[in-house]
A = this chain, B = another copy of it.
Amino acid sequence: MTAPLKAIDGSADLPVLMNDLAQRARAAARVLSLAPAEQKNRALEAMERLVRARADAIIAANAEDVAEAKAGGMAASFVDRLTLTPARVAGMADGIAVVRGVADPVGVVTESWQRPNGMTIERVRVPLGVIAVIFESRPNVAADAGVLCLKSGNAVILRGGSDSFRSCRAIHECLVEGLREADLPEAAITLVPTRDRAAVGLLLSGLNGGVDVIVPRGGKSLVARVESEARVPVFAHLEGVNHVYVDGAADLEMAKSIVLNAKMRRTGVCGAAETLLIDRAAQDKIEPLVDMLIGAGCEVRGDAAIRAADARVKPAGNEDWDTEYLDAIIAAKVVDGVDGAIAHIHEHGSHHTDAIVTADNAAADRFLNEVDSAIVLHNASTQFADGGEFGFGAEIGIATGKFHARGPVGVEQLTSFKYRIHGTGQTRP
């Protein structure tokens, strides 16, 4: 390693800086790929300790970002996402402890078999390489993504929103010091040292093979840009237009409980339900479900059959079936059984998470097999779409693509594999 990277703003040297940074990350990735679990955990232990010890400094740096955002007239919701409190910093430290506790995926033999000629073949997990994480205002993503990549043996290049630059820098200092304490290369977790927005475009280019995969964390416009411009693989979901289908054979109380939770537990998460489909054979369930939702403060936008059941239902337009509200609003429609539900989801779904409520196991099997989403549930809430709820400990995000990673992306899906073959002199006939 040569001299440390210098932050430069708006300089024509940005491509040089970014390529240099990617090369350092690549060299660090090679070291990390061979680092034992114990050494990585030592770094994670130090990082957790440092984040807790420096909470005041992190919050002070964050206060400067927050003041600038407020002065710049940013929306209250934006400022809320940006703001770090003592509880949020403690949550970040807790998250590092959780990742430390997750089993190290690197080097795990997932399959092994012997060939008739006596050779043994093992399929063993190896890290992916260099992961670029592009996020927006939430500075805690720097810690969450940084430590998850470390645990999985990958180097990471973090690019936070320019509005959270000071906060990210303060958090990043803790991570780097943790790497140093464990004798791991500092470039294993790199923060792009400039607020220059052109850095994002350079990351999306893949930096001449310097970046192996990009994980965008933020709103739909960020994800859409990354998906359309990236020249390397992307782990992401654009949106979660998730459905709960209440079958004719559903238990009403179970349906009410699942629909309420799927929609209203937290309306802003990607696993929240956005559309309620009700079987035409479950006419009697429309009114109680709609009444419950409206009583819980949810706006219901329905088709004619739903509106006929309750005058408070607003009419749904064509666009409602394709909308991710992320709010206390739900679209509701009557469909013809499980076939109608599958057809509707095929046309309008986003391949994220969809649920069926039914006591009919054959209907459930058809729904789970035929709905082409990363997560399909029978008699459970869509809000379980989360790496922690899957038992993964932590996740870097949820992916809706079918390549490599799908569903909640934890440490295992941040690895690839190689084949290790042991012989005793075998040659091929």
A: which residues have CB within 8 A of B? Answer: 30, 33-34, 107, 113, 115, 119, 121, 126, 128-129, 212-213, 233, 251, 254, 257-258, 260-262, 265, 346, 364, 368-370, 372-381, 383-384, 386, 389-391, 402-404, 406-407, 416-428
With A368-B420, A406-B417: A427-B376 Cβ-Cβ less than 8 Å: no
A136 to B172 Cα, complex, angstroms? 50
Beta-carbon nearest neighbor of A262 in chain B: B427
Q: How far is the CA of A391 from the CA of B114 in the complex (A)?
A: 9
Q: Given A115-B389, A404-B403 in contact, is the A384-B426 Cβ separation under 8 Å?
A: yes
Chain B residues within an 8 Å CB radius of A402: 126, 128-129, 212, 416
9 further A-B contacts with Cβ under 8 Å, apart from A372-B418, A376-B421, A384-B426, are A113-B391, A115-B390, A128-B403, A213-B403, A257-B427, A260-B427, A378-B421, A386-B428, A407-B418
Q: Which residues of B contact A372 (CB under 8 A)?
A: 30, 33, 126, 418
Q: Which residue of B lies closest to A420 (CB)?
A: B368
User: Contact at B115–A391, with CB atoms within 8 Å?
Assistant: yes
Q: Which of B107, B115, B384, B424 contacts A379 (CB 8 A)?
A: B424
Minimum Cβ distance to chain B for residue A23 (Å)? 14
Give 9 closest A-B pairs by Cβ, nearest first.
A380-B423, A261-B427, A402-B416, A254-B425, A383-B428, A404-B404, A377-B421, A379-B423, A380-B426
- Quote the shortest CB–CB distance from A205 to chain B (angstroms): 13
Bound CA–CA A61/B187 (angstroms)? 59
Please name all residues of chain B whose beta carbon is closer than 8 Å to the beta carbon of A416 when the two chains form the complex. Answer: 402-403, 406
Question: Which of B129, B379, B425 is close to A380, meaning CB atoms less than 8 Å apart?
Answer: B425
Q: Which residues of B contact A420 (CB under 8 A)?
A: 368, 376, 378
CB-based contact A418/B113 at 8 Å: no
Given A376-B419, A380-B119, A258-B404 contact (CB < 8 Å) = no
What are 27 residue pairs bridging A and B, where the CB atoms are less than 8 Å apart in the complex? A30-B372, A34-B369, A113-B391, A121-B391, A126-B372, A126-B402, A128-B402, A212-B402, A212-B403, A261-B428, A262-B427, A368-B420, A372-B418, A373-B418, A375-B419, A376-B419, A378-B422, A379-B422, A379-B423, A379-B424, A380-B427, A381-B426, A384-B428, A386-B428, A402-B416, A403-B416, A404-B404
What residues on B are CB-neighbors of A389 within 8 Å? 115, 428
Residues of B within 8 A of A121 (CB): 390-391
Contact A421 to B115, CB < 8 A, known contacts A381-B426, A383-B427, A426-B380: no
Given A373-B418, A384-B119, check contact A233 B403 (CB 8 Å): yes
- Residues on B with beta carbons closer than 8 Å to the beta carbon of A368: 420
Cα–Cα, bound, A158→B339 (Å): 32
Asked if residues A425 and B379 are in contact (CB atoms below 8 Å), the reply is yes
The complex places the Cα of A375 from the Cα of B374 at a distance, in Å, of: 30
Say yes or no: A370 contacts B34, CB within 8 Å.
yes
Cα separation A262 to B423 with both chains bound (whole Å): 14
- Pair A375/B423 contact, Cβ less than 8 Å: no
Give chain B residues whose Cβ lies under 8 Å from the Cβ of A262.
427
- Docked Cα-Cα span, A126 to B370, in Å, equals 10
**Chain B residues with CB below 8 A from A379, complex form:** 422-426
Q: Compute how far the CA of A376 lies from the CA of B124 in the bound complex, rounded to whole angstroms.
A: 11
Q: How far is the CB of A163 from chain B (nearest CB, A)?
A: 31
Return the contact of A421 from the options B107, B113, B375, B428 (Cβ within 8 A).
B375
Separation of A351 and B376 alpha carbons in the complex (Å): 37
Which residues of B lie under 8 Å from residue A424 when comparing CB positions? 379
Chain B hits for A129, CB < 8 A: 402
